[in-house]
Structure 1
Amino acid sequence: MKQNDTGLIGDISGALRLLTRLPMPASERIAGPRAAWAWPLAGAVVGGLAALLGFVALPLGAGVAAALVLGAQAMMTGAMHEDGLADTADGLWGGWEPARRLEIMKDSHIGTYGVMALLVLGLVRWSAIATLLTGGVWWGLIAVAVLSRAPMAVLMTAMPNARGKGLAQSVGQVPQTSADIAVMIGLAAAGCLGWSGLWMVLATAMVVLALALVARAKIGGQTGDILGASQQLAEAAGLVVLAATL
């Protein structure tokens, strides 16, 4: 049976349907741009389930537990953010002009830049997650998962769509209010970690700003792949800073 959900619950369920592959009740409602405020909450669900798995698997060793956390996150999201990271790396550095870069990003094949981006960032995330699990800071994984979804809403509000079609374009223009709420939710999650959370926010803002500047210079705006890459870079930055400061 399909449910015609509206309001806050509808936005949250719409965010989960858009950003995860978790089983959700069928709905006639498509997650619109207003629901972007709930993207960090979808991250909380993904991060919470992954952190629980990491906690349970910790007796197997921090390295194994961290690998399982990464695998669980990819399964729950359909690896859509990782795919965006790989396509972004291939496109932004594999072409010489905007049209060619966008063409490369649309190609389903993965190139050398994409492989290296996934490998390097995967190792960075794995190492930081292992450190956090060893230190018993499993809740930090949830905070990072929440914070890392907020930049996607910000980029969709602040930057034009470079391609004019695709998943990011189909979602629509995210209202400023929705982006602001997403940021506030992310800041609240980071605030639970004290000064470490502050440094985590600063690191996240810096890497996302750098990505935004490069994307604007190379393709003229954002795409769904850029949004996915922003989540991965924000998560990696947050995890590293958190592991280093706690």
Structure 2
Amino acid sequence: MRYQLELFFTALGFFTRLPVPAWVPWSTERLNHAARYFPLVGWVVGLIGAGSYLIFTLALPPALAVILSMAVTVRATGAFHEDGWADTCDGLGGGWEKAQVLTIMKDSRIGSYGTVGMVLMLLAKAAALFELGAHGLSGVAAAMLVAHPLSRLCATSLIHRLPYVREDESAKSKPLARRMNGAELLIAASFGLLPLILLGPREALFAVAAVTLVTVWAARMFVRRLGGYTGDLLGATQQVTELACYLGILSAWNFI
């Protein structure tokens, strides 16, 4: 049990800026096995986002509460996944061959595609959450609590299904290169899917359908362009499927 707790804290420390107990040992092997708890990290981020949103609404209009709660989650994660999304936009948008794409994604500078992609992603998520708020404060909170774990499950599924394509040992996500086994994926799936109970059956179905379609599309594109995944592509998958979850819930309300 202690080992499993250590794996969770390893994942939490890698994917967020939140402090972890000093007694938790660090190793690349532990990070590799900690992939099973990435969706559980989403629980923590979702709770931070939902909690901060509800607090901000006590004194601020809903639109500002949405934006500030997004800022809180970005701070909590160190913009880890947002950075991956921006790098992915730059790489896939500006590169043609695999080597060129990987080189662009490795560059710490942000380009035109990354800037535009980041702005549009943040605007789209803010707009979606604001629309969810039109159905009540609980709608935004529930959406955040569902989307963060579910989107991290989608990213985790790529570790299970696709090969890692970077060869350089300096890559931050190199320890994640080992494919997950079925038991580890089952653990991840349980944490990623359990929050769906916060939604109605129709909303849950539409949310799962939306993130599944986006994940399959992304995986096919990653294989076609690069032959597998990188850490940046995992971050991009988390971002785009988080948005897809919000849009899926909204579609369930609007679809006739």
TM-score range, shorter chain: over 0.9
Aligned to 1:17: 13
In structure 1, the residue matched to 2:55 is: 56
Q: 2:92 corresponds to which residue?
A: 92
Give 1:224 deviation, angstroms. 0.2
Task: Say if 1:161 and 1:168, in contact at 8 Å, map to a contact too.
Answer: no
Separation of aligned partners in 1, 2:174 and 2:120:
29
Aligned partner of 1:163 in structure 2 is 166
- After TM superposition, give the deviation of residue 152 of structure 1 in Å: 1.9
- Secondary structure class of the residue paired with 2:173: helix
| 1:66 partner amino acid | V
The answer on 1:175 being equivalent to 2:181 is yes
Q: Deviations over 1:131-153 (max 9, x none)?
A: 23342221221111111111222
Distance 1:98 1:44 in 2: 34
Contact kept, 8 Å, 2:85 with 2:233, in 1: the verdict is yes
Q: CA deviation at 1:185?
A: 2.1
- Contact preservation (8 Å) 2:88, 2:233: yes
Give me the whole-angstrom Cα distance separating, in 2, the residues matched to 1:169 and 1:176. Answer: 20
Distance 2:211 2:204 in 1: 10
Distance of 1:217 and 1:38 partners within structure 2: 28
Q: Quick check: 2:36–2:187 contact (8 Å CA) kept in 1?
A: yes
Q: Which amino acid aligns with 1:28?
A: P
Q: Aligned match of 2:154 in 151, 155, 170?
A: 151
1:45 aligns with 2:44: yes
* Higher deviation after alignment, 101-110 or 234-243: 234-243
Decide which of 185, 189, 205 is 2:195's aligned counterpart: 189
- The gaps in structure 2 that reach 5 residues or longer are none
Does structure 1 conserve the Cα–Cα contact (< 8 Å) formed by 2:142 and 2:198?
Answer: no
Match of 1:108 in 2: 108
Check the 8 A contact 2:159/2:176 in 1, yes or no.
no
Alpha-carbon contact 2:209-2:248 (below 8 Å) kept: no
Q: Which residue identity lines up with residue 127 of structure 1 in the other structure? A: A
1:95 shift after superposition: 0.9
Cα shift at 1:220? 1.2
Alignment TM-score, normalising by the size of structure 1:
0.93
Between the aligned partners of 1:96 and 1:84, the Cα distance in structure 2 is 18
- Give the C-alpha shift of residue 231 in structure 1: 0.3
Return structure 1 stretches of 4+ with deviation > 6 angstroms.
Answer: none
After superposition, give the CA deviation of every residue in 1:172-227 in whole Å (9 maximum; x if it has no partner): 41333212221232222224312201110110011111111111111111000000
Q: Percent identity?
A: 33
> Number of aligned pairs?
242
Contact kept? 1:92, 1:215, Cα under 8 Å: no
- Identify which of 223, 233, 237 aligns with 1:230: 237
